[in-house]
Amino acid sequence: MTLTGPRGSYDALLFVSFGGPEGLDDVVPFLENVTRGRGIPRERLVEVGAHYTAFGGVSPINGQNREFIAALTREFLDAGIDLPIYWGNRNWDPYLADAIGEMRKDGITSALCFVTSAYSSYSGCRQYRENLAEAVAAVESDGAGPAPTIDKVRHYFDHPGFIEPIVDGIVASIDDLSIHGLRLVFTTHSIPTSTAVSAGPDGDGYVSQHRAVAGIVAHRVGQERTIDPDWDLVYQSRSGPPEIPWLEPDISDHLDVLKSAGSAGVVIVPIGFVSDHMEVVWDLDTVALDHARESGLPARRAATVGTDPRFVAAVRELVQERVGDVEPRALSSFGPMPDVCGRNCCPNPRADKPAICQQQ
């Protein structure tokens, strides 16, 4: 039960994700976890929780993670990799500390972790690494022994196994709309502009990585359908106070601009998300598509990569790559991202907290 290669060895994979409520009683406690320390009134959390209430209080993300872990388990077995997979969330059960405690109990000493966030940013990388450090400290606080050491697979936004399913999802949406001159509207989660500026090893990583992916995807879609599609990168799901600048334009505002400009129609492409969780099924499928429909702008939402076999295989490759069994693959000019984050990469905007999986 150990994966060993010329660059190291691991005896488990920790699957790390955001987490989500799985019932109506979970919604507000979950949102309290997400917003802890930010002083958001409970009334506001109840208001935001209405999005989850529309789906019976169940976020799709946990169910999708279970499906992905099952698919990755099969992928490992087919590749002859006998590596157990543990699952821990940042904000809901199963929590990171519980997963790491279970690993210690099972005798795991060295684990590699995969995070369901493909790009560089504070909230998409460093915050997870801070959460992992907190979870390790919590496990070790009982004095029963050290937690496993944990490393993280690199960012994978430009891995072919992530790019190719996105292309196919767009092509399917184009064929479904069957309208000449469609525009591709790539969307991702908005973040404060201050953290966008400091994201990544050299700054501006969040925006530049998304733009790189959008350009690659648009080019490949053009090759598939012999077109040269125009495209935009927009943002969604803003959650901060209005006085703090966040990345713009907002997707709904941009759809209005495109409608006024006479666009024939749009394919909305959620390149910032690996699965159809709440920011997709509510902010896009409910809010954005309803907005487009009301304005008379033909629109479809392309599929996320989800459990596409190519993406599952990509995660298996990232694991094998880390021990040196396969060569890294990357389609953008960034090339394969570093295995270990820099000490000042994606800094915490509020406080300097301990984080793992980084240079010391």
**24-63 as b/e: b if 16+ CB within 10 A:** eebbbebbebbbeeeebeeeebeeebebbeebebbbbbbe
Alpha-carbon torsion (333, 173, 292, 116), positive or negative: negative
Tokens of 156: 């994978």
- Band (53; pLDDT cuts 50, 70, 90): confident
> What pLDDT was estimated at residue 5?
87
> What pLDDT was estimated at residue 6?
87
Question: Within 237-352, where are the H helices?
Answer: 251-260, 278-281, 289-295, 309-323
> What pLDDT was estimated at residue 261?
96
Bin 226: left if φ > 0, else alpha if -120 < ψ < 50, else beta.
left
- Band (220; pLDDT cuts 50, 70, 90): very high
> What pLDDT was estimated at residue 359?
82
Rounded to whole angstroms, the Cα distance separating 163 from 279 reads: 20
pLDDT digits (tens, 9 = 90+) for 2-14: 899 889 899 999 9
Find the mean pLDDT for residues 30-46: 80
Find the mean pLDDT for residues 84-104: 97
- Band (39; pLDDT cuts 50, 70, 90): low
pLDDT digits (tens, 9 = 90+) for 233-254: 999 998 877 889 999 999 999 9
Stated as kind and residue range, the H or E segment containing 16 is: strand 12-17
Which domains are delineated in the chain? 3-156+308-323 (3.40.50.1400), 160-301 (3.40.50.1400)
How high is the mean pLDDT of the chain?
A: 94
- Band (37; pLDDT cuts 50, 70, 90): confident
> What pLDDT was estimated at residue 47?
78
Rounded to whole angstroms, the Cα distance separating 326 from 83 reads: 17
User: 296 burial class (0-12, 13-18, 19+ CB within 10 angstroms)?
Assistant: exposed
- Residues above pLDDT 90, as percent of the chain: 84
Tokens 């309803």 locate to: 290
Tokens 């709309």 locate to: 177
Phi/psi of residue 344, nearest 5 degrees: -105, 15
Tokens of 157: 């936004």
pLDDT of 198 higher than 80: yes
pLDDT digits (tens, 9 = 90+) for 259-313: 999 999 999 999 999 999 899 999 999 999 999 999 999 999 999 999 999 999 9
